[in-house]
Structure 1
Amino acid sequence: MLGSLSMVHVRLLAGCIATCLCLAATAQDGTYYKWTDASGTVHFSATPPSGQKAQTLKLEGAAGEQAAPAPPAPAVEPTPQLEEAQGAYRKRACEAARNDLAVLEKNRMVVSGSSPDAATKLDAEQRNQAKLRAKQRITQFCETGNKP
């Protein structure tokens, strides 16, 4: 759960960075247009709308000036609660990986998803790939010092 939560944060951060880069690329001369559509929604754009009356906005300091770089964010030390949660997550992930490997080594049927109706028998190559992934997860989560 903690691993997927941090993955959400990573994706959100990546999306914010990509949005900022796109906005910075379009903010070449600092001229923007503001208009309201028929439903009352206000829009802002770097290009004027076609067939709409738009207000021209000029951003101060945007005409070719480059902003000073932001200072680097200070490093954040993990709290004891975070370290405890990460340890519990690693323990659960380790147990799950070991259980998966045990099932795969016994050549049992593997259920895909949450429906027993979707049970499938893996061929030798699929089973070997699944074993390899389970062993990688065991190395990642069960060995001390490794963090997700």
Structure 2
Amino acid sequence: MHRMILAASLLLALSTSAMAGQVYKWVDAQGVTHFGAHPPEGQEATSVNTSVPKPRPALPRLDSEIAQPAAPLPESKPVGDQKAIDEKVKAEVATQEAERRKYCENIRTNLAQLQNNPRLRAEVNGEVRRLSEEERQSRMKEAEKAISENCN
């Protein structure tokens, strides 16, 4: 009995897709869209796909997803707090801009000293020694590159 019910339901499910006929779509001279089982004579019609896609199977949940509670939704903050946040961000940006200006001033000063004084001494590995011409030129290039990348 169970096999007969299973076979009948399987045949019924398969027969609906086999019984589905072709559907055509066309627009008449007045601009009205029509659908029908037969295309009109002397007029262009397009075939419409009537098959229903199969639903995707649900992904299995991981044990870690089941064990953990859902994260609470963030609460909306009043408008007054947004003003405080905006002021804080503006202050941080102003501080960063001041630090950038100070850095640019220092690097320009260093570049000027490198360009104007061929006899420079620097502390390298805890030892004060005179820079060679190659080291001086290298440091000048590094300073110029830093200025072009970070300073206006």
Normalised TM-score (structure 1): 0.40
Q: State the structure with more CA Rg.
A: 2
Normalised TM-score (structure 2): 0.39
Greater RCO structure (CA 8 Å; 6+ sep): 1
